[in-house]
Amino acid sequence: MKKKVIGFILLVVLAGLAASGWVGYRLYTTGFSAKTEPHVLEVMMARQIRHLAIPIEQRNAPNPVAPTPAVLKEALAHFADHCATCHANDGSGQTPIGKNVYPKAPDLRLSDTQSLSDGELFWVIHNGIRFTAMPAWGEGEPEKDLDSWKLVHFIRHLPRLMPEELEEMKSLNPKTKHEIEEAAAFDKFLQGDDAAAPAGGHRH
């Protein structure tokens, strides 16, 4: 029995050394460029590490928020304002930031994300993921972070997002400084201040 345990420990150590060597080789050949596509083995390792890092009680935690239309609408607005910059309104990750971080923002509509439990999705939103662009959005104790649980419902809804919902999200996305200034100038113009008319005489 002792020999089997020692053999298993040696196997784990060797696997760890091999993995470390492989990561070192990848860094040597590709450097730290964010443009590099993660190797399939690296993706598998990262997912397994993430899975093991989430406490089992959290993985199995049920969503305490009921998926009502009001909750979904609130989560849609939250996602458009906080998450779409990286993940895009449709969850595809096809944004300038989402496509150029390492690893790239995942397509939240696909099974790699949709197959996660509600507890796992909540944990990722609340705590973030180290060494990625995913920040920790949760504030305070997990038990009180109902906003993240609401976002879990919206992530589940992403594969069935309707065109009218996407249109609504566009109006809720954060505005650039230029867009804010242009909107303010247009509002002044509507109030009778001709000098404040946006450049070009119209608003895009």
Of the two residues 23 and 202, the one the predictor is more confident about is 23
pLDDT of residue 202: 46
Tell whether 163 and 146 lie within a shared domain. yes
Task: Specify whether the CB–CB gap between 113 and 105 falls below 8 A.
Answer: no
Tell whether 61 and 162 lie within a shared domain. yes
Task: Compute the residue count for the chain.
Answer: 204
Tell whether 153 and 186 lie within a shared domain. no
Confidence bin at 190 (pLDDT 50/70/90): confident
Tell whether 165 and 109 lie within a shared domain. yes
pTM, full prediction = 0.71
Task: Specify whether the CB–CB gap between 100 and 87 falls below 8 A.
Answer: no
pLDDT of residue 133: 87
pLDDT of residue 25: 60
Give the whole-angstrom CA distance, residue 172 versus residue 9. 53
Tell whether 169 and 132 lie within a shared domain. yes
Tell whether 155 and 200 lie within a shared domain. no
Tell whether 158 and 200 lie within a shared domain. no
**Domain residue limits at 196:** 180-204
- 16-30, 63-77, 173-187: which range is least confident on average? 16-30
Tell whether 64 and 11 lie within a shared domain. no
Residue 138, CA atoms < 13 Å, CB-side half-sphere: 21
Q: Is the pLDDT of residue 167 over 90?
A: yes
Confidence bin at 201 (pLDDT 50/70/90): very low
What's the count of helices (H) and strands (E) in the chain, helices before strands?
A: 10, 0
Tell whether 112 and 13 lie within a shared domain. no
Give the whole-angstrom CA distance, residue 156 versus residue 151. 9
Of the two residues 35 and 69, the one the predictor is more confident about is 69
Q: Where are the alpha helices (DSSP H) in 144-190?
A: 146-157, 163-172, 177-190
CATH code for the domain in which residue 123 is found: 1.10.760
State the Cα angle at 85 between 130 and 188, rounded to 5°. Answer: 145
Tell whether 26 and 48 lie within a shared domain. no
Give the total number of structural domains in the chain: 3
Tell whether 160 and 185 lie within a shared domain. no
Tell whether 168 and 186 lie within a shared domain. no
pLDDT in tens, 2-41: 665 565 566 555 655 655 565 566 555 666 566 677 767 7
Of the two residues 57 and 65, the one the predictor is more confident about is 65
pLDDT in tens, 97-136: 999 988 899 999 999 999 999 999 999 999 998 888 899 9
